[in-house]
Amino acid sequence: MSMATAMPWQAWPDLQLVWPWWLLALPLPWLALWLLPAVRSGAAALRFPHEARLRDIAGNGARARPLRGPGPLLWLAWALLCVAAARPQQLGEPVQPPQAGRDLMLALDLSGSMQEPDMSLGGRPVDRLTAAKAVLADFLDRRAGDRVGLLVFGRRAYALTPLTLDRESVRQQLQDSVVGLAGQETAIGDAIGLAVKRLREESGEEQRDEDKVLILLTDGVNTAGLLDPRKAAELARDNGVRVHTIAFGGDGVMSVFGFQLPMPGGGDEIDEATLQAIAEATGGRFFRARDTAQLAGIYAEIDRLEPVERPGPALRPRIERYVWPLAGAFALALLSFLLAGWRRR
């Protein structure tokens, strides 16, 4: 016998029954036929002159002849019907559908300077955080297919949401963020370090380096934290995380009815050189936004980056096979009834 010859049970690889307990119904017709009491007849169907002799021969109150039961075709039809009810399925060949998207981490500065009302939104003055939230919410609407995470930083850095496809939960956490939630100072280096740690831990092994992106928005200078921003940039580069940095903040003036008015405490210094060095070291880009319109344009430009195709998780489609035993049961039952009618004729 050749080794290449398939054994009978190998003809249907990966065959499984979804509801195997239906096979317990196989002996039900046999049990009903043999366990139910036989029919007794007390009335004489035919009168005969020698009734007494016949009664002595057959016995008074004789049991009627047992039912013959269904034929072999009906038995086989019932068995196939039970197999069909058990819902056999076969696993198809594994397929890997392509999936477009990135692992994208958003880092938002919540230090005290983010409450400066030097931005405009819808024709009314707003603080920097409110303007950033509006732009980020619009940015999230366009990132279908990405796994997005959110972290905030001030004196310390905190991850609010892990990488997830549920952009609505990210948007809700974004809207609930307030100035000072993470402290009044600015820990840019710690924010980058935490983002790299989360991207490394939560990205799968199949995730390529060019798919991991951090977008960091800040309006100040690194004044807190344990990790130097430039050292954090090296850590991001070594882990394949591309960092886009956005310096956000006005020039210390606000336009009111066409007049440029100085803002109290405005014109805070932004360390553009460090932010630019971080972006260059990791293969990202540095942006400067002085108003809401410029910030929206920056996120629109980042949004235009082409998503990288990567294979999704391997899936094995389930192929329903109950149709075949069901069709066989119907054909056998029909054939049995046709043969019964032919025999009667």
Instruction: Report the pLDDT value the prediction gives residue 98, as an integer from 0 to 100.
Output: 56
153 with 214, same domain: the answer is yes
How many angstroms separate the CA atoms of 180 and 158, rounded?
12
How many angstroms separate the CA atoms of 216 and 237, rounded?
15
Within a domain: 323: no
183 with 284, same domain: the answer is yes
Distance of CA 280 to the CA centre of its chain: 34
Render each residue's pLDDT in the chain as its tens digit; 345 residues: 344 444 433 445 677 888 888 888 888 888 877 777 665 555 555 555 555 555 555 555 444 444 455 578 888 888 888 888 888 888 877 776 656 678 899 999 999 889 888 888 888 899 999 999 999 999 998 887 788 999 999 999 999 999 998 999 999 999 999 998 888 899 999 999 999 999 998 876 555 556 789 999 998 899 988 999 999 999 999 999 999 999 998 765 555 444 445 444 444 578 899 999 999 999 999 999 999 899 999 988 887 765 656 666 677 778 888 888 888 888 888 888 888 777 776
Query: Tokens standing for 151?
Result: 């972290």
Give the residue ranges of DSSP H helices in 59-162: 72-85, 128-141
Within a domain: 150: yes
Domain total in the chain: 2
The CA dihedral of 68, 74, 75, 78, to the nearest 10 degrees, is -130
Within a domain: 56: no
Q: Is the distance from CB of 148 to CB of 124 less than 8 angstroms?
A: no
Within a domain: 163: yes
β-pair partners for 217: 108, 246
Domain extent at residue 335: 70-96+331-345
Instruction: Report the pLDDT value the prediction gives residue 25, as an integer from 0 to 100.
Output: 86
Within a domain: 78: yes
Within a domain: 290: yes
Distance of CA 193 to the CA centre of its chain: 28
Angle between helices 167-176 and 128-141 in degrees, nearest 10: 180
84 with 117, same domain: the answer is no
- Nearest partner of 147 among 110, 106, 108, judged by Cα: 106
Give the residue ranges of DSSP H helices in the chain: 28-35, 51-58, 72-85, 128-141, 167-176, 188-202, 229-238, 272-282, 292-303, 323-344
Place of tokens 């344009």: 297
208 with 249, same domain: the answer is yes
How many angstroms separate the CA atoms of 225 and 195, rounded?
14
The domain that contains 217 carries what CATH number? 3.40.50.410
User: Hey, what amino acid is at 329?
Assistant: A
Instruction: Report the pLDDT value the prediction gives residue 281, as an integer from 0 to 100.
Output: 95
Instruction: Report the pLDDT value the prediction gives residue 47, as an integer from 0 to 100.
Output: 58
How many angstroms separate the CA atoms of 272 and 270, rounded?
6
Within a domain: 139: yes
103 with 142, same domain: the answer is yes
264 with 136, same domain: the answer is yes
Within a domain: 31: no
User: Hey, what amino acid is at 217?
Assistant: L
Distance of CA 196 to the CA centre of its chain: 23
103 with 87, same domain: the answer is no
163 with 196, same domain: the answer is yes
How many angstroms separate the CA atoms of 227 and 293, rounded?
32
277 with 135, same domain: the answer is yes
Question: Half-sphere exposure (CA, 13 Å, Cβ side) for 226?
Answer: 3
Q: Give the CA diameter of the chain.
A: 132
158 with 77, same domain: the answer is no
134 with 275, same domain: the answer is yes
Q: Is the distance from CB of 81 to CB of 329 less than 8 angstroms?
A: yes
How many angstroms separate the CA atoms of 71 and 225, rounded?
85
Instruction: Report the pLDDT value the prediction gives residue 5, as an integer from 0 to 100.
Output: 41
Coil vs helix vs strand at 38:
coil
254 with 270, same domain: the answer is yes
Q: Is the distance from CB of 192 to CB of 242 less than 8 angstroms?
A: no
Query: Tokens standing for 337?
Result: 């009834």
- Nearest partner of 267 among 252, 255, 249, judged by Cα: 252
